[in-house]
Amino acid sequence: MLREEIAINREISRNTITGLVRTANEFSSTILVKTDDFQVNAKSLMSMIALDLHLDMHVCIEATGSDEKQAVEAIKSALI
């Protein structure tokens, strides 16, 4: 398992979330995005939209699997 905490430093639109979910689905690892209150599957569009990500929000990206390092880096790149 690999985990990284980040602060979102860009505006997050529905298009950003759609691209993030597409990217997450390219990996075999399980990828979670966590806030203080919620934990969602990064491969689920509805869950990611419901998370309501926004500028300056702190999240934890967690991946478990054979490509976890690449998965965390890709999701991080979509958010910062």
Nearest partner of 65 among 36, 39, 27, 37, judged by Cα: 27
pTM of the model: 0.93
What pLDDT does residue 4 have? 97
- Number of folded domains that form the chain: 1
Q: How confident is the model at residue 76 (pLDDT cuts 50, 70, 90)?
A: very high
CA–chain centroid gap for 17, Å, is 9
pLDDT in tens, 17-65: 999 999 999 999 999 999 999 999 999 999 999 999 999 999 999 999 9
What pLDDT does residue 32 have? 98
What is the CATH number for 11? 3.30.1340.10
CA distance 2 to 70: 10
Residues in CB range of 39: below 8 A, 6 or more apart: 32, 33
Q: 55: which 2 tokens?
A: 């500028």
What pLDDT does residue 69 have? 97
Q: In what order do the strands lie in the sheet with 39-41?
A: 2-7, 58-64, 30-34, 39-41
Q: State the residue range of the domain holding 10.
A: 2-79
What pLDDT does residue 42 have? 98
